[in-house]
Amino acid sequence: MDTPIQLRRGRGAASSPAGRFAAFGSAWTDDGWGGAPDLPASIATEVLPERARSIIARNDSPDIPFEQSINPYRGCEHGCVYCFARPAHAYVDLSPGLDFETRLFYKADAAALLEKALARPGYVCRPIAIGTNTDPYQPIERQLKVMQSLLQVLDRHEHPLSITTKGVLLLRDLDLLATMAERGLVRVAVSLTTLDSELKRRLEPRTADPSTRLRMIRRLHEAGVPVSVMTAPIIPGLNDHELEDLLAAAAAAGASRAGYILLRLPHEVAALFRDWLELHYPDRAAHVLSLIRQCRGGADYDARFGQRMVGTGPFARLLGERFRLAVRRLGLDAEQPPLDCSRFRVPGSDSPQLALF
């Protein structure tokens, strides 16, 4: 059931609109007899196991640089209001709004499924990307340790991976990541959206402070783990003015490469973000939305390959040029050797994969 638009402590979305596949929907309205009911100021997180039949997803999009990925969790407690993964909650008949950040699922048998997938006849080792949908180091990972179990399997069989995260819980696994980096098996991308702690609190309520993420970049660099920065999403009229400062701070902390993504508002995310703007930045909401639409051909979102990550139009082109100039000036375009697939050992075998051919 939908809920009135209301700020709730520690949450990004301000409502729970029905998913796009719901047979019925509802909306609150003030009929003059008392209006919307009083709702709790905070909502507890509910975590449930998800019995998955497989663990590795295959990707063929030309916009993303990986062929295989793993998502240890469905939903994310970080509560980033802009998260493009929110619409996936509609597939389990839950709201992409508050449900996405309060009703979470974890793959309880993820490590066993991965071991089985790697042992399958005909499996070809290619780097696995983790964190491309929901964050593998979100707060519930501290107790559930699903990501840690996956990392241990990949380390044991010397399988390469990349990690994208804004969760400083990653530092729990730093020793293991460092030994994998010595063998060319891992690289990490840290998401850095803003240097403004107040904007961070509103935009990404349960994530680490920007200064803490910069320290994470430094720790990874000092441990010898290749680390890049993802300045994502860039939101026109809200954080785009920080682009050069974000890149400079990350470079000073030890990042060697950088990327950026223009704000994406697929499906239900568009309405959630509009509500968020009206609640937090009513004075500039219309301007921000106008700039977004200028970058999306007049719409809230353009899902076409080649366009969805960077947008179109003068503002989007200027943003891309600013990024390219800053990256070149700061040396954030260093070449990285490819992750090493030759070391992979099939489960149950003492020989590396190449010995099979």
317-329 average pLDDT score:
98
Residue 279 confidence class, pLDDT cut points 50, 70, 90: very high
Residues 131 and 143: their CA atoms lie apart, in Å, by 18
The answer, yes or no, to whether residue 4 has pLDDT greater than 50, is yes
Residues 334 and 153: their CA atoms lie apart, in Å, by 30
What pLDDT is recorded for position 32?
Answer: 59
For residues 26 and 266, which has the higher predicted lDDT (pLDDT)?
Answer: 266
What pLDDT is recorded for position 355?
Answer: 41
What pLDDT is recorded for position 182?
Answer: 98
Residues 233 and 254: their CA atoms lie apart, in Å, by 21
CA atoms within 13 A on the CB side of 272: 34
Give the DSSP H or E segment for 306: none
What pLDDT is recorded for position 59?
Answer: 83
What pLDDT is recorded for position 19?
Answer: 76
Residues 226 and 96: their CA atoms lie apart, in Å, by 33
What pLDDT is recorded for position 274?
Answer: 95
229-253 average pLDDT score:
98
What pLDDT is recorded for position 301?
Answer: 94
What's the mean pLDDT when you consider all of the chain? 91
The answer, yes or no, to whether residue 207 has pLDDT greater than 50, is yes
Domains of the chain: 46-333 (3.80.30.30)
75-90 average pLDDT score:
95
What pLDDT is recorded for position 357?
Answer: 41
The answer, yes or no, to whether residue 16 has pLDDT greater than 50, is yes
For residues 356 and 160, which has the higher predicted lDDT (pLDDT)?
Answer: 160
What pLDDT is recorded for position 341?
Answer: 97
20-36 average pLDDT score:
60
Length of the chain: 357
The amino acid present at 93, given as its one-letter code, is: D
What pLDDT is recorded for position 356?
Answer: 45
Q: Are 193 and 260 in contact (CB under 8 A)?
A: no
| 344-355 per-position pLDDT tens digit | 999 987 655 554
26-36 average pLDDT score:
56
Closest alpha carbon to 339 in 189, 214, 233:
189
Write down the pTM of the prediction. Answer: 0.91
| 142-160 per-position pLDDT tens digit | 999 999 999 999 999 999 9
What pLDDT is recorded for position 349?
Answer: 75
Which of left, alpha, beta for 313 (phi over 0: left; psi -120 to 50: alpha)?
left
